[in-house]
Amino acid sequence: MPNSNKILSQLRILVQLTQAEAQIAQVRITQARIDAVRRELTHNASNARECTTALRSALRELGGVPDWLPPRSAASPGWSRPPWSRPNR
């Protein structure tokens, strides 16, 4: 298969983007004030998780390996605040 490295690379990027989409939707669920918005965000997060699973499966079928590190959480120290707003230590 010519250019399989490009396809594998693009699939890995899509996996990361859909994981980020699911995380953002999950965070926004807790911020939503209206039930309809909460339901839509829950649906979006579920769809993103399903897409991530399908993309990982496609990666494996093409002989690639999905990233073994989990996506960074929005609550991890690196994403909690920009560097300029962190207290000096």
For 14-67, write each residue's pLDDT tens digit: 999 999 999 999 999 999 999 999 999 999 999 999 999 999 999 888 887 766
Question: In this structure, is residue 63 part of a structural domain?
Answer: yes
Report the number of distinct structural domains present in the chain. Answer: 1
pLDDT at 71: 53
**Residue owning tokens 């390996």:** 65
Question: In this structure, is residue 75 part of a structural domain?
Answer: no
Residue 51 CB neighbour total at 10 angstroms: 17
Question: In this structure, is residue 79 part of a structural domain?
Answer: no
**What is the extent of the structural domain holding 53?**
4-69
Question: In this structure, is residue 88 part of a structural domain?
Answer: no
Question: In this structure, is residue 13 part of a structural domain?
Answer: yes
